[in-house]
Structure 1
Amino acid sequence: MDTRVALISGANRGIGAAIAEYLYHQGWQLSLGMRTPKRPKWDDEGRCHLFAYDATKGQEQAWVEEALARFGRIDALIPSAGIMTPKNVIEACDDDLDAMMEVNVKAPRRLAQAAWEPLKAHGCGRVILLASLSGLRVKSAGAGLYAMTKHATVALTHSLRQLGWDDGIRATAVCPGMVNTDMTQNADMPNAEKIDPNAIAASVVLLLNLPNNSSVAEFNINCTLEPCY
């Protein structure tokens, strides 16, 4: 297979940055979506394509067209940009929910829409959506609003999986628990006990390399003992 190409949003930090670095060292060509583009220090060969991407601006079509002009193909989408407003469903206002839905759900859908034909072209396109265990259960009232959007992310993944199956597109919702990123620094858990973003990256590489007849719909990763998760 020719060198594969992945588009990764939220690639400047956290899980997105870890995935990007991991794939880079696996030989992938990368188009990195960042609100403020900055070439990663590990890209010493200048192989990465950088795009000024804001998940609230509707730039997905432009990003896909620019990546295609650079690489000529798209094999995987990994929308990693995400936000969380720590409010329960009663105290939150519609603007709080709309902001999270825009970044966590609508932007990944638009990116898949823009890249759908290139993903179909080689019969083995891959879509990895960064969901959460909060997309499978609501563990606390304070995370209820965030959980609503991540349940929608999981539903989006299954919808893409159903739609793209016959064309070789395989979609997976990666659902981690508490990950050691900027988003969780105020959580009541030592960083050393949280999931390392590099472990998420390694899991994504595993999922991307699975053949079409070994599809994983949901991939759950946790750092604490919970029934079924």
Structure 2
Amino acid sequence: MEKKVVVITGASAGIGAALAELLGRKGGRPVLAARREPELRQVAARSGPEALPVVADVTRREDVQRVLDAALARFGQVDVWVNNAGRGITRLVSELTDEDIDEMMRVNVKSALYGMQAVLPHFQSRGSGHLINVSSMLGRVPSVPFRSAYNAAKHALNALTANLRMELSEQHPGIHVSTVMPGPVATDFGFNALGGGPDSRRIPFAQTAEEVAAVIAELVEHPRADVYTRPEFHQQVLAYYASEELGAPPRRS
């Protein structure tokens, strides 16, 4: 971790903030990107002397490029890029509007795509690098109906991540592409969801942002493809896809 330059989007709170602070303590050089300048600078102040805050809206391609440019101008390289920015929704499928779908894709998919496409030429020129996309268990098992379009967006993110990994595997084996899949995390995610929603901090067995950040930090040091933030999540995914009727509600006797 020592001296690794790690770009983290969505770094003003939650998982992104916890990860920046942890990497800073471990000797990394975090580059923090988010829209909220006061909160971002507070997190940067807690993330070590070399932390670099960059105020940016990562749903704008030009802002994502500016984050990369700032990181390269300060440090000369980027070792890891973490696409962590995201937003939930509280809408059933029958209630979704065009604007709902557009917002979920813009924040959860396009922002990550912009990050992948921005940093990829730099990684290719170096022959190494690590892309980490923070997805969700709901991107594997869409078990919460009112998160409908969020679930769909995270499924799309998972597919793009897997396809980029395949694209790079032969010609650029030194570039790692990873997906991280947390379950519920005790953050402001619920409050910030489009349409409001339940308080994520009150969900039973929700992980802390610090627990998820520790999993991501370990992934930075030991890259691999797909990572679940709790061991039991993998078994839940296997059981779901082994079911004869995916997502079917329990039958009443």
Q: Does 1:99 align with 2:103?
A: yes
Q: 1:2/1:221 Cα in 2 relative to 1: closer, same or farther (>3 Å)?
A: closer
Rounded Cα–Cα distance in structure 2 between residues aligned with 1:9 and 1:176: 16
C-alpha contact (below 8 Å) 1:76/1:119 kept by paired residues: no
Give the unaligned 5+ runs of structure 1.
Answer: none
What displacement does 1:149 show?
Answer: 0.3
Cα RMSD, aligned residues only: 2.3
Say which one has the larger Rg.
Answer: 2
Matched pairs, number? 224
* Counterpart among 114, 133, 143 of residue 147 in structure 2: 143
Q: Report the CA distance shift for 1:12/1:169 in structure 2 as closer, same or farther (over 3 A).
A: same
- In the aligned structure 1, how far is the partner of 2:224 from the partner of 2:231? 20
**For 1:1-229, what aligned pairs fall within 5 Å after superposition?**
3-37=3-37, 38-40=41-43, 41-43=45-47, 45=49, 47-58=50-61, 59-165=63-169, 166-167=171-172, 168-184=174-190, 186-187=198-199, 190=202, 193-210=205-222, 216-222=224-230, 227-229=235-237
Q: Supply the distance in 1 between the matched residues of 2:180 and 2:105 (Cα, whole angstroms).
A: 18
Give the distance between the partners of 1:145 and 1:56, measured in 2 at CA.
17
Structure 1 outlier segments of 4+, above 6 Å: 223-226
- How far apart are 1:27 and its partner, in Å? 1.0
Task: Label 1:12 to 1:143 Cα distance change in 2 as closer, same or farther (>3 A).
Answer: same
Identical amino acids, percent of aligned pairs: 30
User: Would the alpha carbon gap of residues 227 and 205 (structure 1) be closer, same or farther in structure 2, given more than 3 Å must change?
Assistant: closer
User: Which one has a larger percent helix, Structure 1 or Structure 2?
Assistant: 2
198-207 or 121-130, larger mean C-alpha shift: 121-130
- For structure 2, the 5+ residue unaligned runs are 192-197, 238-253
Q: TM-score, normalised by structure 2?
A: 0.81
d(CA) in 1 for partners of 2:23, 2:215: 11
